[in-house]
């Protein structure tokens, strides 16, 4: 079969030739590429996978294309830190014979979140992100979503291919942007290469590019599905509730237990709230635990909102019953 990209310059492609090129890309994706190495999928961000640099290189090799990057460097202003830069890259794509086929652009700067700040390490707590979190984020209920994973100081991150609740370390402004010059330049080249590859091979209907970068920098939050979380009428116990169904109970607190742990060399703290019937409610939130501990001393009833999951009753909110 003649390479469609090599022959399109001499005459228009037929519908059959276009189908053959699309089929070839899909076959390469199926037989050669591997998920999370050549392409990646972000939950709830559409059906199209995000093309990664190794995947773009495989398509370049498949169609015998040559990339020629051109880099521009711009100094960026920061009120207190000197040396921030932005790298802008244009990639020209040519055939093996030297014919210009198309191009792409990409940029990266040391002002992006993951390069601008130091600290803020994401410590895996070992607890998967519940589906309700993504649904609440999609509905714009950010405070409720944050409370669901433990409140302030907790976030989400991908570990070994799975989205997990993580504890966030304190962020600080990085005082030496030069540490990331090489990294940012390479990232800009990668983004430009992916953009050019998608354009020249007409693979944008199969792959996307930007979602991976948006999620990585916190601009976009991945969502899982479109189903809204189900809410049941208040119940006293959670033993027969369906998994991940949100419930509300009004109880008196007996005690609050604190347990510190370590996973993959990272420390975390989890609290267990016990009501007078010895029902357990778990949370990573200091705020929820402190309120429950205070209520256990005053014997005031509290209103606990929680879900039932793989690891038991997960607290999403705690407040005094009278205040509620």
As a whole-number percent, the residues of the chain with pLDDT over 70 amount to 80
pLDDT value at residue 311: 67
What pLDDT, in 10s, does the model give residues 72-107?
999 998 888 999 999 999 999 998 888 898 999 999
Q: Which of 164-168, 197-201, 233-237 has the lowest mean pLDDT?
A: 233-237
Q: Which of 31-35, 192-196, 244-248 has the lowest mean pLDDT?
A: 244-248
Rounded to 5, what percent of the chain is helix, strand, coil?
30, 35, 35
pLDDT value at residue 106: 94
Identify each DSSP E strand in 179-321 by its residue range: 246-251, 253-263, 266-275, 280-283, 302-309, 312-320
Please write down the HEC assignment for all residues of 166-209.
EEECCEEECCCHHHHHHHHHHHHHHHHHHHHHHHHHCCCCCCEC
What is the layout of strands, in order, in the sheet containing 100-109?
Answer: 65-75, 85-95, 100-109
The CATH T-level fold of domain 4-115+172-216 is Enolase-like; domain 1 (3.30.390)
CB 29 within 8 A of CB 22: no
Choosing among 3.40.50.620, 3.30.420.40, 3.40.50.720, 2.40.50.70, the CATH entry for 246-320 is: 2.40.50.70
CA 223 to chain centroid:
9
Residue 199's Cβ-count burial label (10 Å; 0-12, 13-18, 19+) is middle
CB 162 within 8 A of CB 171: no
Above 90 in pLDDT, residue 114? no
What are the residue boundaries of the structural domains of the chain, listed by start? 4-115+172-216, 120-171, 246-320
The mean pLDDT of the chain is 80
Name the residue with higher pLDDT: 7 or 172: 172
Domain 4-115+172-216 and domain 246-320, same fold? Reply is no
Helix, coil or strand: residue 306: strand
What pLDDT, in 10s, does the model give residues 291-316?
888 888 888 898 998 887 766 788 88
Q: Roughly how many angstroms between the first and final C-alpha of the chain, as a whole number?
A: 71
What pLDDT, in 10s, does the model give residues 246-291?
788 888 888 888 888 777 677 778 888 988 877 888 888 888 888 8
Q: What are the two backbone dihedrals, phi and then psi, of residue 288, each rounded to the nearest 5 degrees?
A: -65, -40
CB 54 within 8 A of CB 28: no
């Amino acid at each position: 079969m003649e390479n469609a990209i090599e022959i399109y310059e001499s005459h228009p492609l037929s519908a059959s030739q276009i189908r053959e090129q699309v089929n070839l890309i899909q076959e390469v994706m199926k037989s050669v590429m591997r998920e999370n190495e050549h392409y990646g999928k972000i939950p709830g961000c559409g059906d199209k996978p995000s093309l990664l640099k190794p995947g773009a290189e495989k398509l370049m090799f498949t169609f015998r294309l040559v990339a020629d990057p051109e880099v521009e460097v711009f100094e960026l202003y920061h009120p207190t830190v000197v040396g921030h830069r932005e790298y802008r890259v244009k990639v020209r794509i040519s055939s093996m014979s030297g014919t210009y086929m198309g191009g792409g652009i990409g940029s990266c700067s040391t002002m992006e979140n993951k390069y601008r700040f130091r600290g803020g390490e994401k410590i895996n707590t070992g607890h998967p992100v519940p589906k309700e979190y993504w649904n609440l984020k999609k509905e714009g209920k950010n405070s409720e979503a944050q409370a669901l994973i433990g409140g302030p100081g907790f976030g989400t991150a991908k570990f070994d291919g799975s989205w997990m609740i993580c504890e966030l370390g304190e962020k600080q402004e990085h005082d030496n942007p030069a540490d990331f010059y090489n990294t940012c330049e390479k990232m800009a080249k990668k983004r430009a290469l992916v953009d050019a590859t998608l354009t020249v091979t007409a693979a944008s209907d199969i792959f996307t590019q930007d979602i991976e970068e948006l999620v990585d920098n916190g601009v976009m939050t991945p969502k899982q599905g479109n189903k809204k979380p189900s809410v049941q009428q208040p119940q006293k116990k959670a033993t027969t509730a369906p998994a991940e169904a949100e419930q509300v109970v009004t109880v008196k607190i007996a005690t609050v237990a604190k347990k510190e742990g370590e996973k993959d060399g990272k420390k975390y703290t989890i609290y267990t709230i016990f009501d007078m019937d010895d029902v357990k409610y778990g949370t990573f939130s200091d705020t929820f635990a402190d309120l429950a501990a205070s209520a256990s001393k005053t014997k005031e009833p509290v209103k606990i909102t929680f879900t039932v999951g793989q690891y038991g009753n997960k607290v999403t909110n705690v407040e005094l019953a009278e205040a509620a």
